[in-house]
Structure formats: structure tokens, C-alpha cells
Amino acid sequence: MKALRLLLLLPIAAALCGGAKKPQLAVHFHVEAIGNAGGSFTMPVKFANPPRDGFVETIAFASDKNITAIFPVRNADSTLGCAFQLDQSGRFALESVSKDRRGASIVVTMRTKTGSHQVIDMIIDKPILDGIIYIPKGLSPGEVQMLEQNFQIMGQPVDKKKKRR
């Protein structure tokens, strides 16, 4: 009888101890920090636009949890980009960041099973009110494929299976 109880508790313990499936894809949107004023709340980064060293806030203002739909783009030079439509919370955060930090950069990072990389950094030149972040380039074909598998495509009928969270 004790062995039976132990066998029944094993799956429950596994679920509570991290047996949950981890997402295969993570997208984070960080904003440039002012100097290193945040200390442990900032992390160093190399900006490409314009080239310089700087810091971004460790905590992303939006992430893949805020993405409601995507629109992948193949450019004429074969580079891949994507537009990300954010939910209400992400839209509000993007609007606040774009109004308060004009002239700073937004850094987009992507993490998959194979690794993590900085996709692009873009200077905020105007307030973004529509909740859409457009990344013109920097994505790999595999990343775009994973995005298409996990999120709705803008303008297509809703597929409830694609909503990860």
C-alpha cells in the first residue's frame, strides 16, 4: 500500500518541481538604461546603431508573453524581419517607454534551444501608440518558423491552438 501511494505521489512531485514544459522560444524587449544608474538592474550591451557600448535594463518591458500576433517579413535582400503586435499590457508599456525614453534604444533579444542573441537595437524616434514593434531584419529562418508555429499571423483567422499562454 505504501508503494502505491509513493507511485501516485511521484507524478505530482515531478509537476511541482519543474516538470512543466519550458517554452522553446523567448522574445524580450529591453530599453536602454541611462548610464549604469541601475547597478545590478542593468546589463552591458554593444549597440550597433550607432556603434557604442552601453547598458539596458535587466527586466524587459515586454516579452513573448505580451505578443498576440506577428507578421513575418522577407525583405528584398533575403533578410527576415517581423512585426510583433502586443497585448494591452505590452502596448501600454511600449507607449510609456517610447514617450519617456525618446532617443534611447530598444534592444530585442531572442532565445531558442540553440542559444540566445541580440536581434537588433533601434533608436526610439517617436511615440509608439499602436502596440506594434517592427523588427526590419536580424531573424533566422528557424526563428521565424518557430514564431509562426507559436503565434497568430496578423490578418488571419484566430487559431486557438497557437496561443501558447
Spans in the chain with pLDDT lower than 70: 1-23, 35-38, 161-165
Of 7, 11, 21, 39, nearest to 113 (Cα)? Answer: 21
Give phi and psi for 138, each to the nearest 5. 110, -5
Its pTM stands at 0.80
| 94 and 131 Cβ atoms separated by less than 8 Å | yes
In this prediction, residue 8 carries a pLDDT of 47
| 101 and 32 Cβ atoms separated by less than 8 Å | yes
37-78 tens-digit pLDDT? 667 889 899 999 889 999 999 999 999 999 999 999 999 999
What would the DSSP string read from start to end of 27-51?
A: EEEEEB-STTTTGGGEEEEEEETTE
Query: What structural domains and CATH numbers belong to the chain?
Result: 22-156 (3.30.1360.200)
